[in-house]
Each structure stands twice: as structure tokens, then as C-alpha cells.
């Protein structure tokens, strides 16, 4: 990595209006977009993070099972248990309320961070928390989720596991001397590892991390995430098995064209369901926010809603992996399909807004599968569970606004490769409807309500496309190192008093050249205007060491360099060959970086026709906006 120029103490006066305002926040390292050499080290550290996250995920699943056994069957054990199979029907109403009361107490006197489904909390810790997670959250979040789901909550374990796995990675990083970006990579690595261990879906977990947590696709973040996800999947094998979580759809290799067409209809229905579910969650949040009782009691009220729904459809309580399996194999009855589609959606959406602890993926698996199973009652038969499978992918694409993650998730959950194209069609149609009709997803709406802006649209940075040589401005005025400062000052004052807006006053940063014509330093207009008129000090003694750029560097590199050195203008110099001096080629400023943004805006919004079949020529297209001229 080439060494950077020496940091000038101050190359521009604070009185200069174009100077970037000084800030007490000192950035220790910003870099010039080089892959840090510590990527390998952070990737190796992701191995133990993946192991611990997998063990935590397996432990959480066992803890949920043990609490379900205790709460609904009055027995101690780690075997699979379903709340709806309890012989005591009154427990379906009572236990969710008890669980809500316990969670409220844990949130108030333990940590408020355990409230919610985990994903927004993980995103918030990355965006504004420096990827720091409190140690107690790593303990209280899985415990509260286990209590919530084990006492009948219609939630999934994946959201809490994402938050808990992220806490494992963050705590591991907090004991090491690492940068904020490296700590973020380990936090997200822990989240992806927990997800991979829960669902045996490493690729979907990596995509989820990229689409929802990393906000970038760079080696420094992708590699640790991939290492942790793969490690967690390997550790999961001996603990929870390697078979697909929901097998049995048996999609045939040949599917009729009419079925592909109906996948668009299924995607539209999934998108509408995603809209309904998102609106329901935040209607519930608004409702609870208007209550005149402390938020500690809200989960108990949510528990009462859950219990009421459980009396109507007992199988809507809990994670419901058995119900998802029945839907995806075509073994669900009409009563179960309608009960899950209506009751599960209502109790999940209304209770999640109460601030209880639980995830969104497993409920969406169940609701999406029920939607597809209902469609299978009227759509042509393809295979058992086919419409449930494609609708599941559609609901994930609509609710999470992550169609690729939804598609790959369904592939890894079922291993039904033959359903790939139908799932792509359905998830894309649902995603399109969600984007058109819904401003934000269920995962990011909460962040927006907290005042955080989050964009998940990825594109090439226009500063990365343009090079310095394309936008640099020639240095119209230069000085020599032996020029007396007083003479230059007198020249400036004469020009200023005459009101002469010539090139002398239009320039703000002045290169100072040595006897060979090579840049020796820089002086600012403020320095020269305020110098003593009869000062005979050579400019070479006043000049500061210049911060420079090269013609073949990108504007993004320059933006980082300007931020690090707190300047708004750089000298553009040639790269010195053997035995040659560096030559001054021009000056580049912050205004030129904005020009690159204007060009990108023009290309995005200016419509033009390139080819035509008409005999008469079309008028020439409007040129891209030229760089704005410098102003005093």
C-alpha cells in the first residue's frame, strides 16, 4: 500500500468559506479503498464465532422445547413439543399471558434491547451503535425469546438468534483491538452463523447478511461472514442433523406453462399478504403506543391476544415447524389452512407490536405456506405442496424485500431445485408489488420510526467511475518559492480594491513551485491577503506541505483523502518516474466531486433517443452537464 502524503497542519484558513468545518470527531483511519491486510485475520477469528453461534442456536432451540414441555405438558424434557397438543386447554390462554409478563419484567429491569423481533435491533447497532452489543443482551435476548415462543408465542427463533449470534461476534470483537468495520464484520458473521445453524441454510444466511445487515459487498466483510456461516453449518450437523428442514414437496422436472403463469398470480397474492402483515404489525405498534400504561405490561396484553387466537386455532401457537411441514407436503386440512392463514396472521401481527420477543421468518413460512395451500384448492395440481412452496418464497420476498434471500432460503429448506423458476417468478412478482405499494419493509419501518434513514438500493458509486484527469482544473496562478510574501500580498490587495475578478482572485489554493518547476508547497488566498505587505519572507517558508492526487486515481480515493486531511482542494501532480521531478498538472476541488454526482443524476433522469427509423435526423442529444466554473 503506497504511503500517503504528510498531513499538513492546515492548508486552508478557517476563515475560508469553502473549507470543510473542523469537527471534534477524529477518524483514526479512513483509507483509500484498499483491502485491509487484516482480512485473513478477521476471517480466522470468524471460525470460533461461528462455532459459538451454532452452539447458542442449538441451545436456544432446546431451551424453547424444554419451556414448551414445562408450560403446556408439565414435564421436563428437550423433545419436540407442540402447545396445541396440551391436554389442558385453558393453558392455551393463560401461558402466553404469563410469558408476556415475564418478558415485560426482563425488558424493564434487564435491557429494553430485548424487545422486538431482533433484526431492526441488529441493524441499529450496526448503523449507530458502532457494532457494540451489551453483554447482558447476549444472555437476555435468547432467554426472552425462549420464554416467548415456549409459552405459545407465534414467533420464530431466527430473529433472536440473529441478534444473539451478532452479540457473540460483537462481544468477541470488543475484547480485541479492531476497527469499527472489523467489529461489524464479526457481528454480522455471528448473526449469519446463528441463522445458518438454525435452518441449515448457509447460502441464504450469507445473502441475508449482505442484503439486510452489511450494506456492502466487499472482501473485508463477505469473507468473515462466509467463514462463520459455513463453520456453523458444519457444527450443526452432529447436533441437529443435515437433512432439509422441510422436505417432501417433490416438484416434478416438467411444469406446464399455465402453472408458470399462475405463479405471477401467486406472487401478487403473496405481495398483498406482505402488505397486510406489515400494516398489521405497525397498526399494532401504534395502538400500543397510545395506551396509557407502561410498556412493561404490553407483552402481557399481546399474550392475551395470542391466547385468544390459540383457543380458536391451537396449532397457530409456537414456532409451528410441524404445521409448515404439513403445508409443504400437502397434508394440511382445509380447516387448518384457513385457521393458520387467518389466526396466525392476526395474532402474530398484533402481538409483535406489543414489544414481545420473537422473529418473523417462521411465522411467514407458515402464513406463506397456508396461502399457497389455499391456492392449491383452486389452482391446477402440480405436486403436493408446490403452491405452498412458491407462495412461501413470495411472502418472504414481499415481507423482507429480499427476493434473492427468499428464493435461496426456500431452496435450502426443501432442496427442491425443480421449483427454482416458479419461486423466482413468485418472489419477483411479490417484491414488485411490495416496492410499488409499500414504502418500507417490516424490517426497516421500525428504524425509520426511530429517525434512522436506511437505503437498500445498491449501485456503482459515481465517484468510483470518474478519474481525476477527467475533472481536474489547470492551476492558472502559481508562485515560486523565492517570491517575497509582501509583494504577493500587495498584488492581491490591489486587485481586491480594484474589484478585479480576474483569475488571481478566482483561485483559492496556490501551488508554490521550486526552481525545477516541481510542487514544493501550497499557500491559500487567506494566507496571502492577511500577510504583512512589506514582508520579505520567501513563500517557500510559508508554504504548507501539499496534499496531492494523481491523474489516474478515482474521485472516491480523493473524497476519502479530503476527509482524512480535512481539506477541500488537492494539487494534481504526475507520478515521478526514475530521475524525474513531479510535475504540477492542476487542482481538483470538492466542487469537482459534486460534478461527478451531477453527471450521474443526468444519466439517471435525462431520456434520449439514440437510434431512429425516421428519414430525417433526430436533434443531437443534450450533452451531460459540464463542470461548473469556479467562483470566488
Q: Please say whether the beta carbons of 119 and 212 come within 8 A.
A: yes
Return the C-alpha cell found at 550: 494523481
**Cα separation, 441 vs 488, whole angstroms:** 61
Q: Decide which of 7 and 569 is more confident.
A: 569
pLDDT digits (tens, 9 = 90+) for 491-530: 777 766 666 555 566 677 888 888 778 888 888 877 777 6
**Cα separation, 385 vs 58, whole angstroms:** 28
Please state which of the ranges 440-444, 498-502, 555-559 shows the lowest mean pLDDT. 498-502
Dihedral over alpha carbons 508, 514, 518, 524 (to 10 degrees): -10
Return the C-alpha cell found at 215: 450494506
Please state which of the ranges 166-175, 251-260, 450-459 shows the lowest mean pLDDT. 450-459
Architecture in CATH for domain 257-449:
Orthogonal Bundle (1.10)
Query: Directed axis angle between helix 345-352 and helix 298-312, to 10°?
Result: 170
Q: Please say whether the beta carbons of 80 and 65 come within 8 A.
A: yes
* Cα atoms in the Cβ-side hemisphere of radius 13 Å centred on 281: 25
pLDDT of 443: 64
Architecture in CATH for domain 39-240:
Orthogonal Bundle (1.10)
Please determine, for residue 411, whether its predicted confidence score (pLDDT) is greater than 50: yes
Please state which of the ranges 317-331, 332-346, 520-534 shows the lowest mean pLDDT. 520-534
Q: Decide which of 486 and 169 is more confident.
A: 169
Confidence of residue 401 (pLDDT cuts 50, 70, 90): confident
Please determine, for residue 629, whether its predicted confidence score (pLDDT) is greater than 80: no
Q: Which CATH superfamily is domain 464-604 in?
A: CBS-domain (3.10.580.10)
Helices (H), 175-313: 180-199, 202-208, 219-240, 257-289, 298-312
Identical fold, 39-240 and 464-604:
no
SS3 for 94-163 is: HHHHHHHHHHHHHHHHCCHHHCECCHHHHHHHHHCCCCCCCHHHHHHHHHHHHHHHHCCCCCECHHHHHH
pLDDT digits (tens, 9 = 90+) for 20-59: 343 333 333 334 444 456 888 889 999 999 999 999 888 8
3 φ/ψ sector (left φ>0, alpha ψ -120 to 50, else beta) = beta
pLDDT digits (tens, 9 = 90+) for 538-551: 877 778 888 888 88
pLDDT, mean over the chain: 80
Q: Where are the domains of the chain?
A: 39-240, 257-449, 464-604
With CA atoms as reference, report the closest residue to 220 among 187, 185, 179.
185
Q: Please say whether the beta carbons of 542 and 485 come within 8 A.
A: yes
- Buried/exposed 425-453: b ≥16 CB within 10 Å, e otherwise: bbbbbbbbbbeeebebbbbbbbbeeeeee
Amino acid at each position: 500500500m503506497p504511503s500517503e502524503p504528510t498531513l499538513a497542519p492546515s492548508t486552508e484558513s478557517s476563515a475560508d468559506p469553502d473549507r470543510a468545518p473542523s469537527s471534534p470527531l477524529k477518524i483514526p483511519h479512513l483509507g483509500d479503498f484498499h483491502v485491509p491486510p487484516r482480512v485473513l485475520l478477521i476471517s480466522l477469528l470468524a471460525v470460533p464465532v461461528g462455532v459459538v453461534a451454532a452452539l447458542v442456536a442449538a441451545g436456544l432451540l432446546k431451551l424453547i422445547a424444554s419451556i414448551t414441555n414445562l408450560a403446556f405438558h408439565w414435564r421436563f424434557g428437550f423433545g419436540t413439543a407442540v402447545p396445541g397438543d396440551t391436554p389442558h386447554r385453558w393453558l392455551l390462554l393463560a401461558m402466553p399471558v404469563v410469558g408476556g409478563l415475564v418478558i415485560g419484567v426482563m425488558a424493564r429491569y434487564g435491557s429494553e434491547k430485548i424487545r422486538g423481533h431482533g433484526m431492526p435491533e441488529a441493524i441499529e447497532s450496526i448503523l449507530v451503535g458502532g457494532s457494540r452489543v451489551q453483554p447482558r443482551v447476549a444472555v437476555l435476548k435468547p432467554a426472552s425469546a425462549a420464554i416467548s415462543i415456549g409459552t405459545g408465542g407465534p414467533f420464530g427463533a431466527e430473529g433472536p438468534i440473529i441478534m444473539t449470534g451478532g452479540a457473540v461476534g460483537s462481544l468477541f470483537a470488543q475484547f480485541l483491538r479492531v476497527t469499527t468495520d472489523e467489529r461489524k464484520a464479526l457481528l454480522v458473521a455471528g448473526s449469519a452463523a446463528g441463522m445458518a445453524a438454525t435452518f441449515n441454510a448457509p447460502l441464504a444466511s450469507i445473502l441475508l447478511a449482505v442484503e439486510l445487515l452489511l450494506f456492502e459487498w466487499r472482501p473485508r466483510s463477505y469473507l468473515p461472514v462466509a467463514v462463520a456461516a459455513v463453520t456453523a453449518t458444519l457444527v450443526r450437523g452432529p447436533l441437529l442433523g443435515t437433512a432439509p428442514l422441510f422436505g417432501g414437496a417433490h416438484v416434478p422436472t416438467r411444469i406446464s406453462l399455465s402453472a408458470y403463469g399462475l405463479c405471477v398470480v401467486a406472487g401478487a397474492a403473496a405481495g398483498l399478504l406482505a402488505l397486510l402483515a406489515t400494516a398489521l404489525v405497525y397498526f399494532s405498534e401504534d395502538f400500543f403506543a397510545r395506551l396509557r400504561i407502561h410498556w412493561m405490561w404490553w407483552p402481557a396484553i399481546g399474550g392475551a391476544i395470542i391466547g385468544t387466537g390459540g383457543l380458536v386455532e391451537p396449532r397457530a401457537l409456537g414456532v409451528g415447524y410441524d404445521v409448515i411441514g404439513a403445508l409443504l407436503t400437502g397434508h394440511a386440512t382445509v380447516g387448518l389452512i384457513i385457521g393458520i392463514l387467518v389466526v396466525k396472521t392476526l395474532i402474530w401481527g398484533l402481538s409483535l407490536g406489543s414489544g414481545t420477543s420473537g422473529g418473523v421468518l417462521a411465522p411467514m413460512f407458515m402464513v406463506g405456506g397456508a396461502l399457497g395451500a389455499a391456492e392449491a384448492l383452486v389452482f391446477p395440481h402440480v405436486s403436493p405442496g408446490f403452491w405452498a412452496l412458491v407462495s412461501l418464497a413470495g411472502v418472504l420476498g414481499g415481507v423482507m424485500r429480499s427476493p434473492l434471500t427468499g428464493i435461496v432460503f426456500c431452496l435450502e429448506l426443501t432442496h427442491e431445485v425443480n421449483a427454482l423458476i416458479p419461486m423466482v417468478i413468485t418472489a419477483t412478482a411479490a417484491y414488485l408489488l411490495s416496492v410499488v405499494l409499500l414504502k418500507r419493509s417490516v424490517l426497516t419501518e421500525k428504524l425509520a420510526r426511530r429517525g434512522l434513514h436506511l437505503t437498500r438500493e445498491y449501485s456503482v458509486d459515481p465517484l468510483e467511475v470518474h478519474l481525476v484527469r477527467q475533472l481536474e482544473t489547470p492551476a492558472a496562478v502559481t508562485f515560486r518559492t523565492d517570491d517575497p510574501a509582501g509583494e504577493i500580498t500587495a498584488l492581491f490587495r490591489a486587485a481586491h480594491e480594484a474589484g478585479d475578478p480576474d483569475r488571481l482572485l478566482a483561485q483559492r489554493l496556490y501551488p508554490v513551485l521550486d526552481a525545477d518547476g516541481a510542487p514544493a508547497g501550497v499557500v491559500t488566498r487567506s494566507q496571502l491577503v492577511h500577510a504583512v505587505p512589506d514582508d520579505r519572507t520567501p513563500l517557500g517558508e510559508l508554504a504548507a506541505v501539499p496534499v496531492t492526487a494523481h491523474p489516474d486515481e478515482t474521485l472516491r480515493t480523493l473524497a476519502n483523502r479530503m476527509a482524512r486531511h480535512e481539506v477541500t482542494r488537492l494539487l494534481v501532480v504526475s507520478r515521478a518516474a526514475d530521475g524525474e521531478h513531479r510535475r504540477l498538472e492542476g487542482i481538483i476541488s470538492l466542487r469537482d466531486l459534486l460534478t461527478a454526482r451531477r453527471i450521474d443524476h443526468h444519466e439517471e433522469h435525462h431520456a434520449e433517443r439514440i437510434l431512429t427509423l425516421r428519414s430525417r435526423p433526430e436533434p443531437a442529444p443534450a450533452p451531460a452537464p459540464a463542470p461548473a466554473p469556479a467562483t470566488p
